[in-house]
Amino acid sequence: DIQMTQSPSSLSASVGDRVTITCRASQNIRNYVNWYQQKPGKAPQLLIYVTSNLRSGVPSRFSGGGSGTDFTLTVGTLQPDDFATYYCQQAYSSPWTFGQGTQLEI
């Protein structure tokens, strides 16, 4: 199985900051990584797919990059609504695995 390792596990930031979350795959997954945002008590929401494609309706302050084994999710200017937990997910081979999550806190 492909392991997805996110860093950091938690991150403290302020409104207006720029933050980057990293996800490392245990093997080359080309560009098949997706990113999700989850708030407490809510279902996850897809933000970015296939490394850098912004899902319709997602603010442009979210961006993704990387390839192979190393990927990033960047939030350009943090807004109050962005404080949540973020997960990467590899879509290269089954079983489809997630990172352990990054909790973004104020």
Taking the complex as a whole, the smallest distance from the CB of residue 26 to other proteins amounts, in Å, to 15
36 CB burial (10 A radius; 0-12, 13-18, 19+) = buried
Residue from 38, 63, 69, 74 that binds other proteins (CB under 8 A)? 38
Residue from 23, 25, 99, 104 that binds other proteins (CB under 8 A)? 99
Our finding on whether 68 is near other proteins (CB under 8 A) is no
**96, amino acid identity:** W
Name 35's bridge partners: 48, 88
Query: Is residue 11 within 8 Å of residue 21, measured between CB atoms?
Result: yes
| Site residues for other proteins per CB under 8 A | 1, 32, 34, 36, 38, 43-46, 49-50, 55, 87, 89, 91-92, 94-101
